[in-house]
Amino acid sequence: MLPLVGIPKTIAKFLKQYRNVFCKEAGFQHISRYINGLLMSPNKTLQGIYSQLVVHEEEKVSRRAMHEAVFEAGWKYQELMKQHRKVVSPIHQGKGREIIALDWTFSYHPYSEKIFAAKEAYDYVNRCWSCYQTVVTARSSRAPEPSSGVATSSISNAHRIDGIAVEVQHPNYEKEELAYLEMTARENYQEMEQVKQRLVELLHYQKNRLAYRKRTEMAVEIVRQLESENQFPNANYAFDQGVLSRPLTEVIEENGKHWVTEIERSRNVMWNGQWQRVDKIAEELKTNHPESFRHKLVRCRNGEQREIWAFTKVIRLKKYGRKRLVIVYEQSDLNDAPRFLLTDASALGCIKSICYLELSLVSGNLS
């Protein structure tokens, strides 16, 4: 294992664009060494990175130096992310179709609830109790332009994925706090000090209740921030049903962008004058009108070509109005599990591009 004797010029040149975020040079240097270690060191822990550093004795770099650089250097998260979006924006523009993916995930901390925003809760993904944070993210990805079904050699050009927003959801303790208030309630308060203490408890409960934000609300705020900065003017949006909400689709459409999402198979849509589940509609079409699924050849962002059989139709949904439903199969006999996509785009040309991007997203090619 070779020692780390300095910051490579490529990394230093890139990090220089973030220097104004840090008020202290020492803090910026610690961050630079740490990022260098994350890229170059086989051991990504603080101990492993610091064990490889070759520094002058007078610098006396300690493990605590990294924590000082992060928590005491005076930089602000919002300024850092705004600067980051400003840096990566010109790298994306003009080099292929862009897509902003909104998503959320669990950041697991199974051995500690003392970490910020970590809470013991039921994990319905792994179907067990665990301790985790809920993190809402947005990333910008440059994807190759879709063609008429034939991939060209230009797809082998480098593709890029950048995180452009991340928000940690504060845990919701409303039930626990309400239970405490009910348990400690009194019929009468004899002293003014007891009244003040009770009022403080009630105000804290109300403050925490109002401060809590759902995943869908956080996604709407992220989109508003991104669109106000206008760093990605040509990027459309893709997300799954976990963040799908009417306010989200409205704010995207208000800014002249398109969106596409995967919806659950139990979603009811207006079909032949009746509200029906989309999975029942897919089964009916497959049985009685299999020719309605048209063969398409799409390209994923990694250059791979994939065959799909898709049916599209503009339908009406409750709350969302008229949107285009896309039912996608990946086998010619239509015996695999279908995907159900929903988009605001009505033009067929735009549909092809957006659905191809969503297919890449769902299949993991953007991760």
- What distance in Å separates the CA atoms of residue 312 and residue 349, rounded to the nearest whole number? 12
Per-residue pLDDT at 34: 83
Distances (CA, A) of 77 to 119, 129, 134, 168, 176: 22, 31, 18, 12, 30
User: Where are the alpha helices (H) located in 255-367, listed in sequence order?
Assistant: 278-288, 348-362
CA pseudo-torsion sign 82, 86, 91, 92: positive
Per-residue pLDDT at 281: 94
Q: What's the average pLDDT block by block, 10 residues per block, for the chain (367 residues)?
A: 79 88 79 85 78 63 64 75 87 76 84 81 84 82 42 34 85 90 89 91 92 91 92 86 91 92 90 92 94 83 78 89 89 91 70 49 41
Structure tokens at 323: 């949107």
Please give the helix or strand (H or E) that residue 328 lies within, else none: strand 321-329
- What distance in Å separates the CA atoms of residue 316 and residue 122, rounded to the nearest whole number? 35
Per-residue pLDDT at 254: 94
> Domain boundaries in the chain?
9-75, 174-211, 257-362
Contact 135, 106 (CB under 8 A): yes
Q: Are strands 97-108 and 236-240 parallel, antiparallel or unpaired?
A: parallel
3-state secondary structure of 216: helix
User: Dmax over Cα atoms in the chain, in whole Å?
Assistant: 82
- What distance in Å separates the CA atoms of residue 101 and residue 139, rounded to the nearest whole number? 5
Per-residue pLDDT at 366: 37
Q: Which amino acid is at 131?
A: C
Per-residue pLDDT at 203: 95
Per-residue pLDDT at 155: 20
Per-residue pLDDT at 149: 30
Task: Provide the total of helices (H) and of strands (E) in the chain, helices listed first.
Answer: 11, 12
Structure tokens at 184: 């400690």
Contact 262, 270 (CB under 8 A): no
Distances (CA, A) of 33 to 38, 43, 223: 9, 14, 33
Query: Length of the chain in residues, anyone?
Result: 367
- Please tell me the pTM assigned to this model: 0.79
Per-residue pLDDT at 65: 63
Per-residue pLDDT at 241: 84
End-to-end CA distance of the chain: 30
